């Protein structure tokens, strides 16, 4: 999947350009203009595409994914998710004979692996498919740049460097406000690389526009890609699906 091809294929013509919610007036005086603009861009993108927002309708999602394995072989698998709320969800990753199940409950998250050799690349799937940072994530933005040479034109907000000079970047479609890309640092013992995920082929689901194709690159080398095969409403999922299976391990917060 070519990155530029992915972005050029975005379908958002029906999204109103002025689709933006008001800022909470509290504490605005303590934030810079850049911080306020960046937060407004993220808020607009969430309102447009966050299918896991509070009070959003329950859904069932299935995706296929692929990545290059340790021996340069192509690995392929499936990702499925049933989401009711941020405290009631179920996701499964199947990669050949390797299987991971995670279940979110009001007080805990449970995981069951059938192998100790679950691929590290596959662990990135939930973050890729969730699209947005967690609601508790906090970013201090330093700059916003317009990339009019790209098609579609983008606005990219970049954070201030952290303790290890790491930065995060989020790029938004200038017309629709959709989140097109997110860059995060991959900090290792001896070095640090950029891990960037791109989103494209946005289609309507309920009141949202959700990307159907996505791909991640590490220093411009493709590492993971996924395609949403279906996304449908799931108004009454079976309660048994959210019971932790025997042998599941409770994850630390």
For 20-70, what is each residue's pLDDT tens digit? 334 455 455 568 999 999 999 999 999 999 999 999 999 999 999 999 877
Determine the pLDDT at residue 253. Answer: 61
- What is the average pLDDT across 75-79? 96
- Whether residue 188 has pLDDT greater than 90: no
> What pTM was computed for the model?
0.85
For 198-216, what is each residue's pLDDT tens digit? 999 999 999 999 999 999 9
* Average pLDDT value over all residues in the chain: 88
103 or 221, higher pLDDT: 103
- What is the average pLDDT across 138-158? 90
| Cα atoms found within 13 Å of the Cα of residue 78, Cβ hemisphere only | 8
**Strand 88-95 with 59-68, pairing:** unpaired
Structural domain 3-19+31-245, CATH architecture: Clam (2.50)
From first CA to last CA, the distance across the chain in angstroms is 35
Within 8 A by CB and 6+ apart from 162, the residues are 185
Render 105-153 in DSSP notation, one character per residue.
-SS-EEEEES-S---TGGGGHHHHHH-SPPTT----EEEEEEETTSSS-
Domain assignments of the chain as residue spans, ordered by start: 3-19+31-245
């Amino acid at each position: 999947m070519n990155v530029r091809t992915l972005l050029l294929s975005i379908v958002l013509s029906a999204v109103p350009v002025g689709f933006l919610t008001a800022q909470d007036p509290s504490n605005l005086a303590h934030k810079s203009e850049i911080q306020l603009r960046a937060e407004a861009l993220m808020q607009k993108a969430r309102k447009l595409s966050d299918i896991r927002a509070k009070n959003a309708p329950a859904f069932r999602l299935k995706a296929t994914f692929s990545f290059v394995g340790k021996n340069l072989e192509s690995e392929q698998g499936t990702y499925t998710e049933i989401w009711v709320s941020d405290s009631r969800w179920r996701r499964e990753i199947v990669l050949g004979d390797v299987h991971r199940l995670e279940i979110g409950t009001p007080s805990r998250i449970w995981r069951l692996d059938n192998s100790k050799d679950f691929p590290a690349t596959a662990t990135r799937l939930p973050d890729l498919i969730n699209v947005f940072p967690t609601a508790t994530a906090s970013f201090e933005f330093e700059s916003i740049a317009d990339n009019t040479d790209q098609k579609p034109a983008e606005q990219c907000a970049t954070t201030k460097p952290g303790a290890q000079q790491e930065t995060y970047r989020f790029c938004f479609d200038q017309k629709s406000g959709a989140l097109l890309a997110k860059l995060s640092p991959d900090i290792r013992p001896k070095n640090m690389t950029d891990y960037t995920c791109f989103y494209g082929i946005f289609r309507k689901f309920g009141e949202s526009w959700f990307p159907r194709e996505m791909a991640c690159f590490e220093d411009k080398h493709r590492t993971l890609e996924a395609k949403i095969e279906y996304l449908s409403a799931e108004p009454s999922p079976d309660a048994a699906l959210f019971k932790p299976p025997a042998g599941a391990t409770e994850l630390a917060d």
